[in-house]
Amino acid sequence: MAFNIPASHLPRVIIIGGGFAGLNLARGLKGAELQVVLIDQHNYHTFQPLLYQVATSGLEPDSIAYPLRKTLQKHDNLLFRMAEVTRIHPESNEIETSIGKISYDYLVIATGTKTNYFGNDALEKTAFPLKTIQDAFDLRNLMLQNLERALLTTDVSQREALMNFVIVGGGPTGVELAGALGELKRHILPIDYPELDLRRMQVHVIEATDRVLPAMSREASEGACRFLKDLDVNVWLNSPVETYDGHTVKLKNGNGHKDLRTDTVIWTAGVHGDPIPGLAPEAIAKGNRIKVDQYGRVEGHTNLFAIGDVSLMCDDYYPHGHPMVAAVAIQQGRHLARNIRALLAGKALTPFSYYDKGSLATIGRNRAVADFKRIKFQGWFAWVIWGIVHLLYLIGFRNRAVVLLNWVWNYITYDRGIRLILKNLDSRKVDDQIGRVFDQQREIG
């Protein structure tokens, strides 16, 4: 296989990654005197902030995904190739991919992050991440299948393990997922599963620090914790996870330990950068992020850039790097597009300056927390603002319309109509988890 890229006298910019950073960079280079090549392992962009709603039957996967070719179809100077980039060769201005090699004049790495298990191999094998559409799809299947299996077992302990859900990580993804599960437990599952005593279903959020949403204000953390408890979610603070063997989570809680029996652990406790092999070791900083200057250039290079979550750009206000959020990636993508245009015109580059528009997190129906520069608030109004912001960030009119209609329907009816168990043959972790459950049931008798 080969790229089959047409020859051009124009400088070639290769963008690796079609996330928030890469996509906004590609958009910003529309009409420039460049040949732009966007490479991604998938042919779609994922709106990751709403993955938890796919996992909890609130939305279908195609509601938060958008084809890259469609969103860039009017960009005459852009080509898309679906491939995995395996290595960078900065010395020869080439990259290796699963479909061959290609040279570049400018290279931009926007590969985002991967789930960080902090070196715990056991957790990586047994816990579920929530980073991709496939993860959300697998998680929805597993949770619904476990509830179906809870109906079949006569062992009370095993039934409770199937009905217990442990979320490791009290950041935005963790609290939003917990809130959604709390809503399911309160409004939907009692109707779907009247034979189950849903009072025994437990949702746990485990956080290693002293508060949930540690990146937000203390007021937001306290509000989120209050909302979670209103939904009967158990919150464990200062409780790092030690092990999970597929059946029991062991926490370090105070001076002692706590065991939680569960067949479903969801890992939202952290991510790290996803750089591509080929960069010098000194270019990779803590958290696997690529060190860049104020213009997004990788240290030691003039035509190699990194933006978004994979990059580490430090300044006086962010001495440890910008937060790994969508707003930073979007702004960095747009800013680098302007700087590349400046390079072509022989003009000076401008340093990146992040404008923090605020932070939001929702915890179920009518409950959210909001942090803005001059004001902090919680409750219904914050929930409305959260919804508006997320609709605006979605790509495509259809996706916005579908998500809005789903939200309105769910709000009016207290229902979520996408409770489908769809077998996925490639989902090995789901199959392994289900296999463990069957083994236990056989042992029981």
**Per-residue b or e along 3-32, where b marks 16 or more CB atoms closer than 10 Å to that residue's CB:** beeeeeeebbbbbbbbbbbbbbbbebbeeb
Q: Are 205 and 212 in contact (CB under 8 A)?
A: yes
d(CA 291, CA 309): 11
Give the SS3 label for residue 207: coil
Q: Is 169 left (phi over 0), alpha (psi -120 to 50) or beta?
A: left
Which of these, 114, 103, 122, 124, lies nearest to 13 by C-alpha position? Answer: 103
Is residue 254 over pLDDT 80?
no
The two structure tokens encoding residue 400: 């916005």
pLDDT in tens, 279-302: 999 999 999 999 999 999 998 899
Any idea of the CA torsion for 73, 52, 375, 234, to the nearest 10 degrees? Answer: -170
Q: What's this model's pTM, rounded to 2 decimal places?
A: 0.91
User: Looking at the annotation, which residues are catalytic?
Assistant: 176
Alpha carbon of residue 384 to chain centroid: 22
Give the confidence band of 426 by pLDDT, cuts at 50, 70, 90.
very low
Look up tokens 């709403």; give the residue.
50
Contact status, residue 265 vs residue 244, Cβ threshold 8 Å: yes
SS3 content of the chain, % helix, strand, coil (to 5): 40, 25, 40
Predicted confidence at residue 305, as pLDDT, reads 98
Average pLDDT, the chain: 92
Residue type for 127, please? A
The CA–CA distances, whole Å, from 257 to 111, 254, 260, 427 equal: 38, 7, 10, 32
Q: How far apart, in whole angstroms, are the C-alpha atoms of residue 96 and residue 99?
A: 8
CA distance 307 to 113: 12
Local confidence band at 414 (pLDDT 50, 70, 90 cut-offs): confident
Which pLDDT tens digit goes with each residue over 336-378? 999 999 999 999 999 999 999 999 999 999 999 999 988 999 9
